[in-house]
Structure 1
């Protein structure tokens, strides 16, 4: 097998979904709503809860073990030279059945200093569906003093924290970058593809009303005095904020049926493409995750059998598949390392 069609991989969480992942995949949603994320082709485990989050391949091997056995087959020589046997990305489906708590992810400098990790958690979102009025909170709209933020968190002054953020409406098709350090919360009614650095580092600024012990588990084991140092407290005005969601100018040599997503700020961390065959989408050899968001078609690869695909499918494409093409009346999102 060269291209893997992966089943859902849903570690339990502390916020609720609304069954959108099951419906998107064409299966009955779970009765328990606390499985709102699908970690696709994951070699990353839940923070402090390994092996939760890790992907098992259809043949019973863990993906991490399979890659470690033959990293060049999976990732390619260039990737291995830069990252070793690490895919360097994590891709998820995320179903916000309720507004997520306001939280923040550390950047690489903070993670290297305090968490012994080369990765922080810059992430980006491709909105698959959004209910009318859906929105995200993204960054503070004004500068916030350290003591002010610490007081909001300690006293759980959620109203004040949210009032200080930018509320950004979202709709299907939007592509938004969320840099590490930026406080954010995903609003209810959203299903998205999320691509991120391969960690599960989150600092909770809000926990009241959620099934999580914020004072004990919300600060990555660092204590809030230290953890809050990772927060970008600067004000994000209109122009600066707009850069996170602007359409990317396409290169003159762009491959047919492929549109690069996210601002150039994302290029250090990962890449994502929207695939709409015209008449095909051409994919260069690369370890990647492909989420079929609408329609049906076929993926043909240089080394391997054609794979029929339909909305809701999630595919793991190793480097060894070679050059691939997507055909049909179909749309997809492809995510890969930088």
Structure 2
């Protein structure tokens, strides 16, 4: 047995002194906390489930709770533990030495499946600096979308203001709930499977009806909802408890170029296709794997979403709709079969020090 195999299969002792089972990839069930908007049919079809009304988001390998909740949003492992608690008990095995040195027991990543059964409201998310100052959290919420599927005649996302917008105009739109002006101010981008959209913190955005994505994001549930009427119960649910006078300070009001934020990757081939460029590295990484036969992956904490085909991920049988979390200590995991999958990983630690 190689040293890698021995490391992956030898029981470990966590901080409490309890022996853990061998560290291997783990298949995950759907985890769909209640949301305020419609959707879920695409998730049910993807996961081969009959219950299409469970909700429009599936939080995969989540150690993050919904805003102001104690447990809602967390992933439960097959052995009954919260993934959050398992990582906290043994962060080095789960995340690797380098990551654990920088982030401790924080995975620094949240992955979701999101099925927009209606257009989502115009909203944005705070930056690291804003979250640290006003919300007591290291992470803001930069995110990115990988389009898995679309339906309907006009699958569109809206990303960033087309022109610079004065603070007074944004405040007026929010105060009067002028949805048409908000939408007109954004860049509309028609999307198709394989497209990726990088959404920096602060940039206003909305996902249109019929767009089904894998979403990578920083591990928070911080949203400032500019367009709350018709979506949230009241304005109080839209500003993170800060009041809109303060919350709107996080809005990026400068014009954004879709060419800088959107990539068309469907035609890209090769065993591994990097889905984002270097601007995403301080927040998360993702590649699309095209395996026909076998492929060995370097050790890393990872969250896998299988798009097509069937095979194995280490000892775990996978097929379209499978989601799997892989601990760093699983070592060099081998993928076999004919499989197309998205591998999501935390930020590159080296990119934080550049």
TM-score (ref. length: structure 2): 0.88
The answer on 1:310 being equivalent to 2:319 is yes
Residue 332 of structure 1 aligns with which residue? 341
Gaps of 5+ in 2: 1-21, 348-354
| RMSD of Structure 2 on Structure 1 (CA) | 1.5
The Cα shift of 1:68 comes to 1.1
Deviation, 1:203, is: 0.2
Q: Is the 8 A contact 2:289 2:343 kept in 1?
A: yes
CA contact (8 A) 2:124 2:224 kept: yes
1:63-74 correspondence to structure 2 within 5 Å: 63-74=83-94
Per the alignment, residue 149 of structure 2 pairs with 129
Any conservation in 2 of the 1:257–1:279 contact (CA below 8 Å)? no
Give the counterpart of 1:6 among 19, 28, 38: 28
Tell me which of 271, 284, 290 is aligned to 2:298: 284
Distance 1:3 1:76 in 2: 15
Q: Which whole-Å CA distance do the structure 2 matches of 1:44 and 1:334 have between them? A: 19
Aligned residues: 321
With over 3 angstroms needed to count, the CA separation of the structure-2 counterparts of 1:90 and 1:136, relative to structure 1, is: same
Deviation of 1:125 after TM superposition, in Å, equals 0.7
Match of 2:288 among 252, 256, 274: 274
* TM-score, L = length of structure 1: 0.92
Q: Does 1:164 find its partner at 2:173?
A: no
Mapped to 2, the partners of 1:23 and 1:119 lie a distance apart of 33
| Kept in 2: contact 1:122–1:269 (CA 8 A) | yes
- Distance of 1:30 and 1:23 partners within structure 2: 8
Contact 1:174–1:245 (Cα < 8 Å) also in 2: yes
What is residue 253 of structure 1 aligned with on the other side? none
Match of 1:245 in 2: 262
Q: Helix, strand or coil for the counterpart of 2:286?
A: strand
3-state secondary structure, aligned to 1:177: strand
The aligned residue for residue 54 of structure 1 is: 74
| Aligned partners of 1:204 and 1:214 also within 8 Å | no
1:280 CA displacement: 3.5
Structure 1 residue 279 displacement after superposition: 4.3
CA distance in 2, matches of 1:168, 1:282: 36
| CA deviation after TM superposition for structure 1 residue 222, in Å | 0.3
Say yes or no: does 1:153 pair with 2:162.
Answer: no
For residue 291 of structure 2, give the secondary structure of its aligned residue in structure 1: coil
Q: Secondary structure at the match of 1:12?
A: coil
Which residue of the partner structure matches residue 27 of structure 1?
49
Do the aligned residues in 2 keep the contact of 1:36 with 1:96 (CA within 8 Å)?
A: yes
Counterpart CA distance in 2 for 1:108 and 1:280 is 39
Structure 1 stretches of 5 or more lacking a match?
249-255, 301-305
In the TM superposition, what is the alpha-carbon distance from 1:278 to its structure 2 partner? 5.0
